[in-house]
Amino acid sequence: MDPAAQALDQSFSGASDDFPALLRRRGLLAAVPTAGSVTANSAWVPTEATTILAFKFQGGVLVAGDRRATAGNTVVFDRADKVLEIDRHSIMAIAGVPATAWEMARVLEHSFQFFRRTQLQEMSVDGKVRALSKLLRDNFGFVLQGVGVVVPIFATYDSGADPSARLYFYDAMGAQFEVTDYAATGSGSPAVRGILFYENTWGKKPLLKLTEDEAVTVALRALDTAAESDTATGGVDRNAKIFPVIKIVCRDGITTLPEKRIAALFKRSVA
């Protein structure tokens, strides 16, 4: 038998092998990066975005995110927008790889618009929640390769038979969990969840009874605290005057808080 053919035959001897695996062993195809191989010391590290939070208060659902995007231990961008409007009553906040998350947000936005224009009505909240879940499931192949993980928060207002604000968080596989009070994801989320739990349980008021100014103050304090222990969280940049993006969704739609107001509340109640 020809030596090349014999080597090829030996390469196929493993029953579990597939053609791409054969090409990789022969040096004809680059290895697929894995979660363990993509590290801060690799030649390429995916850009990631953290930290996001959301909680219900008197006026609806407040959603906030810091502005920092990192690759390993490098700050790639300090003005990233992680709180995205999907339609008139829906917000998607992103933690993970921004390129993937922003594309998911665009797909969701177009899907909701298409449904509204063809069916002459809004998509149901359950439909919106499952649409995002499907996008996450479809992306799971990239998650396994360590290059496309996204863990979002979804907030919306349900104007159906029982009008109410709705809040969900997801895992990387697309499982959705509806929460009654608050949610946080990203590398700084452990500190944020601790603060929100404390405020909701032992604070002067439960989160649901906070006014808008009080809710914004809690969000700013949570993100600023997370930034103290997590280098991937930007918090509030006092020197560059960079503040988190904060949006509120309620019966009347979505409101984006102006930076001047956030800065005034931060100076008065946090700094």
Distance CA 251, CA 253 (A): 6
Q: 71 forms bridges with which residues in the sheet?
A: 74
Could you tell me the two tokens for 179?
């929460």
Instruction: Tell me the residue length of the chain.
Output: 271
Residue type, 254: I
Active-site annotation holds for 50: yes
CA distances from 150 to 25, 98, 200 (A): 31, 8, 27
**Contact assessment for residue 141 and residue 173, using Cβ atoms and an 8 Å cutoff:** no
Which one-letter DSSP state was computed for residue 204?
Answer: S
Which of 256, 246, 200, 201 lies closest to 224 in space, CA to CA? 246
The residues, ordered by sequence, that sit 6+ positions from 86 with a Cβ below 8 Å of its Cβ are 92, 105, 108, 109, 112, 128
Among the options 34, 39, 50, 74, which is catalytic? Answer: 50
Instruction: Indicate which residues carry an active-site annotation.
Output: 50
